Amino acid sequence: MNDENTKKELGLELKRLRERKFPGESLRRVATEHVEIEYTHLFRIESGQYTPSDEKLTTLLDTYDATAEEKLFVFNLARLTPAHHDAYAEAVKELSPDRVHEVMFRRQKPPEDNDHAKT
């Protein structure tokens, strides 16, 4: 991913998902206790300075309980490599072909689901 705006959009989306899953928890606490990643590494990802590896991106999305549409949106932003075809396939099987097309090719952000966060 070379586009700086896309990196920033990816970081903002991951931050939104983190804050939804762990409201009120600090970035440092989420990084160390839930994601098991260095705080500075997660900060750089969320600020658009760094693009996570496919494995780390998948871990973040799973930890944040991202929906299939959210995963697809993030995968599109990050241009997930073929190594994680299985993660992509798992996300798209829950969606209609039309919705996959909308999210992937129009880069339409999935609707926010305020009730999605688990307690």
pLDDT tens per residue across span 57-101: 989 999 999 998 898 888 888 875 555 566 667 777 777 777 776
d(Cα 68, Cα 7) in Å, to the nearest integer?
Answer: 20
Whether 55 is covered by a domain: the verdict is: yes
Assign residue 49 the CATH number of its domain. 1.10.260.40
Whether 52 is covered by a domain: the verdict is: yes
pTM here is: 0.70
Range of the domain at 52: 4-105
pLDDT tens per residue across span 5-54: 888 989 999 999 999 999 999 999 999 999 988 999 999 999 999 888 88
Listing DSSP states for the chain in one string gives: ---HHHHHHHHHHHHHHHHHHSTT--HHHIIIIII-S-HHHHHHHHTTS-PPPHHHHHHHHHHTT--HHHHHHHHHHHT--GGGHHHHHHHHTTS-HHHHHHHHHS-PPPPP-TT-S--
| Number of domain units in the chain | 1
